[in-house]
Structure 1
Amino acid sequence: MPNEKTPKTKKKSKKKLGPHEQLKWETARELGLEDDLANSGEQLSVREAGKIGGQMVKKLIQAGRQALAKEKKDFP
């Protein structure tokens, strides 16, 4: 039998992800792009990367506004 190689797929590493990396994966999952991110990594299309990045920015702005509102509420 000829020496057949099976295609290699990237495996998620077990290392702890930082908060921005976690947000990126969470956002990709919500947009249905998790497989693309896992398989392509840094080779995402501009459109895919833009979708993920745009949603991440929206989430970060929302979190910042909530933090400011909470701080204002807690401050006499």
Structure 2
Amino acid sequence: MPGGGGGGSRRGRRNRVLVPQARVGLDSLKMEAAQALGVQTPADGYYGFIAARETGALGGYMVKNMIASAEAQLSSQLGGQMSGR
């Protein structure tokens, strides 16, 4: 979530995007998750005033979708290898 979380000195180190090119996709996934869960997203991008339960639900939803996407990608890659034998 934008702005990180936690307090003080941890702020800059949390929720760092490891692949900067993925920022737009992750933000899009976050908005999709918020819409699906009925969480109002803050206009300024600061999630500090949203309940931890809601932000946790957003993160869980995002992880669930990322895992499903990775599984589908692996399945299609392995399916192509298996049919090529």
Q: Aligned to 2:25, which of 16, 19, 24?
A: 19
TM-score (norm 1): 0.68
Distance 1:47 1:58 in 2: 16
Q: Corresponding residue for 1:13?
A: none
Q: Corresponding residue for 2:16?
A: none
Equivalent runs, 1:1-76 vs 2, <5 Å: 18-33=24-39, 35=40, 37-39=41-43, 41-43=46-48, 44-75=50-81, 76=84
The aligned amino acid for 1:28 is A
TM-score (norm 2): 0.61
Distance 1:46 1:67 in 2: 31
Distance 1:42 1:32 in 2: 15
Tell me the percent identity: 28
Task: Pick the structure with greater CA Rg.
Answer: 1
5+ unaligned residues in a row in structure 2: which ranges? 1-22
CA RMSD of aligned residues (A): 1.6
Distance 1:68 1:41 in 2: 35
1:6-30 CA deviation, whole Å, 9 max, x = no partner? xxxxxxxxxxx71011000000000
Distance 1:41 1:47 in 2: 16
The aligned amino acid for 1:61 is I
